[in-house]
Every structure is written in C-alpha cells, then in structure tokens.
Amino acid sequence: MIETAKLAWSRLPSAEDAEAQEEEINQRILAGGGAESLDYEIIENHAYREAQARRGKLFVWYHVVVKWFFSLLIGIGTGVAAVFINLAVENFSGWKYAATFSIIQHSYFAGFLVFVMFNLALVFSSVYIITQFAPAAAGSGIPEIKGYLNGVDTHGILLLRTLIGKIFGSIGSVGGGLALGKEGPLVHTGACIASLLGQGGSTKYHLNSRWLQVFESDRDRRDLVTCGCAAGVAAAFRAPVGGVLFALEEVTSWWRSQLMWRVFFTSAVVAVVVRSAMNWCKSGKCGHFGSGGFIIWDISDGQEDYSFQELLPMAIIGVIGGLLGALFNQLTLYITSWRRKYLHKKGNRVKIFEVCLLSFITSAISFGLPLLRKCSPCPNPETNPGIECPRPPGIDGNFVNFFCAKDKEYNDLATIFFNTQDDAIRNLFSAKTFHEYSAKSLLTFLVMFYSLAVVTFGTAVPAGQFVPGIMIGSTYGRLVGMFVVKFYSRLNVEEGTYALLGAASFLGGSMRMTVSLCVIMVEITNNLKLLPLIMLVLLISKAVGDFFNEGLYEEQAQLRGIPLLESRPKQYMRNMTAKEACKNQRVVFFSRIVKVADILSVLQSNTHNGFPVIDHGRNGETLVIGLILRSHLLVLLQSKVDFQDSPFPCDIRGASNRHNLSDFVKPATSKGKSIDQIHLTDDEKEMYLDLSPFLNPCPYIVPEDMSLSKVYNLFRQLGLRHIFVVPRASHVIGLITRKDLLLEENDNIDTVELQSTVRDQRLNKRSVGRDVHTEPLLDSLLIQ
C-alpha cells in the first residue's frame, strides 16, 4: 500500500508537465487539430465476434447490472462532490463575511483589506491549481463535454487531475467572490466521475480495479458520461428532471430509451444525496452553511396570477434577455479569443496575475459601491410582519445593514453586492418586498456585474455562467417589475416574479436552452404557476438571440477548435453530393496482406485514423473488404505476434485466439499508442501481416451521388467516425423492410442491448424468390 502511494505521488504532474500539456493543447487548437474523433461505431471484426460468441446470457445480464450499478455510483459520487463544494464555498464565504463584518465595526479600511486578502487567497489557490496542475479544468467544461458526446475527444478533459482541479478550483474561484458560478464545473465534475468509473479508475496513478473494467467501447463510456452530465445539473440546481432534460437537449447528440432510464435514475440518486445532506446540515453541523449553497429560491408565496396587461412587459423582458444574452456571447467570444492569442501565450505568471487583478477589482467594487449609497429606513414591522430588518452582511436574508448611521436602516446595494451569489439571488427573487431596491442601485449593479462577468469568463479558473446569468437577468427583470408596479398600480404585481422571468430570459438569450431551462427554473423556485410565463420569455429571448449569433457553448466550442456537428446540416449541403465533398482527397488504403514496412511507412507519413482494405474477388476485380483503424494497426505492430514470413492468408481462428478484445480498447483518458513508440528490426519490417481478422468487414457505405445533407444526418445520428463513398452499386441482391427487422422478435426475447448481444444467424428463412448470400464477402474470400 505504501509503495503504491509513493508511486502514485511520483506520477503527479509537475508545473512543467502542466505547462507543456497546455501548450500542446493550445498549439493543436491554433492549428485546427485540437481534437480527435471517437469510435462510437462497433468494430465487428473477428475478435469482436469471437468474444461475443463466448459470452452467454449470464454475461449479458451482468453487463446490464453493472451499468445500473455504475449509474448509482455516478449519482452518489456527483452528489458527494456537490455537497463538498457547497460546504466549502459557504463556509469560506461565511468566515470571510463574519471576519469582515466584525472588523468594520472599528475600521472600514481594515475590513476592506481583510476582505480583499481573503478573496485573493481563495482566488490565487484556484488559479494556481489550474495553471500548475490541471489546465484542462479551466472554464465551465460544458463545451468540451458537449464535444465528447458529439464524438470529439479533446485530450485531458476527463483525467483524474482534471476532476481534482475542477473541484478545488471551483471552491477557490466561487468562494473568492468572482463573477462566475459553480454549476457549469459541476457538470464537468459529474462527467469526469462517470468517465473514471467507465475505465475502471485511473491507470496512471494505479487507482484502478480490474473488476470494474467491463466497458470496452467508446459507446458505453459515452452513455456513462451522459449520466454524469445530468447528475451534475441535478446536483447543481437540485433539479433532477431538469438534469435529464439538460442532457437530452443541450449536450448529448445521441439518445435512446434505455439511456433515458439510466439518466433518470442517476439524477434521482443525486436528488436523494443532496436532500439528505441538506437535512443533515439543518442540525447545525455544517458550520457557516445556511440555506444557501444548494440552490432553491422558493417564491411560492409570490405572485399567484397575472393579467393580460402584463404580457407586454413580460415580452419586453424576453427581448431584453435576447439582446443582452447575444451581446454577452459576442463580447466573451472577442475577449476570450484575444486572451488566448496574446495574453495567455506569455505564460502562467500572466494568467495568475490577471486573475488576481480581477479578484482585487471585484472585491473593490463589491465593497466600495455600497459605501456610496445612502441607507434606507427599514419597513414598518407592523405593516410587514415576518420581515427582520436590519441584518448583518453574510447572513441569509434581505435588508443588510452596511455603513448605515442608524440601527434601523439598510443598504439596498449591499444586499446584492456584499453577499454570496445565492443569497443575492434570493434577495432579488424575494416576494412582498416592494421598494426594497432603488432603480439607481439596480442599474449600478447590472452594469458593473455584467461587465465583470464578461471580463472574468475565459480566465484560467473553473467558471460557470448559470448563476451570474441569473443575477444579471433578475436585476433587469426586477427593474421592469418596478415599472409595472408603478404603471399598473392596481394590479397585484410582485417584483420578485419579474426578477425570475428576467433570469430565465437572459439564460435563454445566452445559452439558447428552452425545455430544460424552463423545468430547471420551475424546480429551483418551487412555483409551477409561473410555467407559462417562463415559456413565453424563453421562446422570445431564444428567437431574438438566434437572430444575432449562436449559443454560448457553441461559440466557445468553436473558439476551442471543437468541431461540433449540429443537429441540422447547412443549407448548401443540399446541393452537394458525397463525391463532391471528398473530391480533393487522396485515398490511402492497404491490401489485405501487406508488408510490415509498408504499414510503418503509411502510418509515419499520414495522420489518418482509418484505412480501407482491399482484396481481389473471384473474377479478379478489386473489392473493398473492410476498414482497419490506426489504433488497431499500432497494437498489431507493437505485439508482433501476428507477423508472418509468407504473403499468404493466415488461419483466422489462430489470429483471433492470439488477441483479446480488450487489447484493442483505447484508454478513455489517454492519447493511446503512437507510431513513435513502435520499434522494429529490419527483419521484422520485411515480414507480412494479414489484416483480415482485425478489420471491420461491414463499415457504413454511401453511394457517390447521395446528397451531402443526407450523409451528414447519417453520420451524426449514428455517431460515425468514417464512412465510405463508393460508386453506385450495379445490382440489388435484396430489399429489407420493417417486417424483416422484426422477424426474430419472438425468437430472441433475451436480447437486452444491441451492442452487447449477438443475433443468431438464420439466413435460410424467407429465402424464396431472393438471391440470398449465406456468407459475408470477407468470409467468402477467406474460404477461397
């Protein structure tokens, strides 16, 4: 145990390793090749078929049970991580505000210094962890995870070090008072936990278990990461249904009913874990942790009904949200692009200095601006029963006493500036608090916090935009609510209701989510009556935002060089064919039996990850018999057990027995093998290799005159990495209908999941009137 711990410690990355890794990532991004596609298609070679044939019904059920067990572990792990982050953030914030408030009783300047130093220490810890330990943990992580589920593997985003950096970096950046949130990083955290479980732990740090290494394809790992994303949202907002819909609408590109059940189960587990933690914290065992942290802003006692006259100002809120959200996306895109091209190239010291400078500016604004505001008298306790006024800063509730001459006064700007983000939003959403805020204070906060959020997003710290977006939107929403209260004085209007609608509109205008965001807002506010209004402002804000640019995550993914395939093909693809799309390509292929030296030469001179394999048919014509992956070729070259002296076909069963299916599995968080790691002697280079047992004999093929839009839909919906374009076939050997696909439904009821079972071949059924080929092309060639 001690030796294992020493070995794991010795493998921890140094500052030079982290900087080298980040420089490599930046160079790939600038070169346009910062990501590699994932193999979601199952390679049905002979090794796969042999492995499936050896697995019976017991293994199928074991495989399914393990998937559900992993869903349980993902829910528990993500919930525990969220509890830890919330407890740490709330306690650090509580200590900060308690110490500051006790000191400002004697000196505001000394209190300001303590406040600044406390924030600087937390923020410095966050940026130091990111720059020196886990550079891939910077940002929200949602664009990278969205790319992963879209079929793009960005190196480093699911490592163990990224998970650790995300958790502790989020504590420092959010606890340090920066204008960002912890909700986006929690989605990334859940995805990292799911990925590590899917590969059985971390092999680099020897924290893995052979019993957990059941998933041997990127497709299974993708399903687990989808569960992790939903768990992250469920843990961040305490919104399990919203988490499921977020995974369905925003991040994943591939969905099915079995996955829906597992994602729903994972989110339910998270909800139970978070609820249990909240009940435990109510006993006072969580330190400064109060009702903040686990987001729920209960406005069930707010506005119960609305009139037709209010629909116009609510629609205006939607328009404002779309405009401000689109502007936010554009500004963050420009600033982040400039930061990556010029500022961050100067090294980690510049990144640390930048974040610390922003921390100082944010602290000065949060502390200084409330000092410039005049205090207001507390509401009359007789006409407003149940309202406690004033309250010291850092205590959950409204009416904060900060730099007030009298005891029965409060500072409206301090209730949102000099407070944690959760408590500030709770104050903005509060009902039955008419005239609590002045329009000048809300405008001041809106301008300053909007500017801080734009500048802070993209720095070298974990940064989410859910909570800052809610704060920005609720501010102008409450401003519109104040106007409605003044203009329609007879209506029973709550300013907090308009603050909620403003928050929904800004998130819709920036992130362009609709269904999932609507459910999340309902779940975190516990007010189902506002559902139609939230739907209205979301539809308007998304329509307005889409007129100007794409959503926040799509813009950031494009900036990071992640080639996302959107849900719909571009319009110009309808007028292009598959042949036109690949007319400038030079096809690099292998013969079925190829010299080792030729394989080595092709791999060294090309970066392709898939190669067609050809052979000669019975009549001497050249036929494409399958697809061989670069990763499989590297495994064969490194093992050397399949090398042969003669250029003749090998015994296919013997070749299959020399390898296990796990030999060809790419590690989930590794680059895989490289051609530079292959060392062969001159004699070995003169030997031959028969590729037939290891290629995929049935790759997806499209005719050359198929429209590119149809190829696009096929490629994205099936999660492909390669697709062959071939001349139009000369004749038809059969026609498959829905009835053919349902032929064995009653005979094979034990089939649970398509990718983990083998269908019995009953090719002699319904053969009357058809020219049935009873053996695949590759098998017929091998028989020859």
Domain spans in the chain, listed from the N-terminal domain onward? 63-282, 308-349+371-560, 571-742
Supply the pLDDT for residue 430: 81
CB 228 within 8 A of CB 109: no
The DSSP code sequence of 518-572 is HHHHHHHHT-GGGHHHHHHHHHHHHHHHHHH---HHHHHHHHTT-----SS--GG
Distance in angstroms between the alpha carbons of the first and the last residue of the chain: 56
Peptide bond just before 313 cis, omega within 30 deg: no
Distance (Å, rounded) from C-alpha 22 to C-alpha 28? Answer: 10
CATH number for the domain whose boundaries are 63-282: 1.10.3080.10
In this prediction, residue 398 carries a pLDDT of 74
Whole-number Å distance between alpha carbons of 583 and 374? 71
Q: Kindly state the tokens that stand for 594.
A: 């190829």
pLDDT at 294: 59
Separate counts of helices (H) and strands (E) for the chain = 28, 13
pTM: 0.85
CA separation for the pair 154, 141 (Å, rounded)? 11
Q: What pLDDT score was predicted for residue 645?
A: 86
d(CA 350, CA 363): 20
Nearest CA among 185, 155, 157 for reference residue 171? 185
Here the contacts of 363-367 (C-beta below 8 Å, separation 24 or greater) are: 363/115, 363/116, 363/119, 363/120, 363/177, 364/112, 364/116, 365/417, 365/448, 365/452, 366/115, 366/177, 366/417, 366/418, 367/111, 367/112, 367/115, 367/116, 367/418
* Euclidean distance between CA atoms 494 and 530, whole angstroms: 12
CA atoms within 13 A on the CB side of 385: 1
| Separation CA 400–CA 387 (nearest Å) | 12
**Confidence (pLDDT) at 270:** 94
- Separation between Cα atoms, residue 529 and residue 463, nearest integer Å: 32
For domain 308-349+371-560, the CATH superfamily is: Clc chloride channel (1.10.3080.10)
| pLDDT for the residue numbered 188 | 94
Res 456: pLDDT: 94
| Regions of the chain where pLDDT drops below 50 | 1-2, 4-12, 14-16, 24-33, 292, 745-778, 780-784
- pLDDT tens-digit series, residues 59-111: 788 888 888 999 999 999 999 999 999 889 988 988 898 899 889 888 889 99
Q: How far is CA 662 from the centre of its chain?
A: 27
Find the length of the chain: 784
Same fold for the domain at 308-349+371-560 and the one at 571-742? no
- Amino acid 12: pLDDT: 47
CA triple 636-638-641, angle to 5 deg: 60
Cα distance between residue 407 and residue 398, in whole Å: 15
CATH number for region 571-742? 3.10.580.10
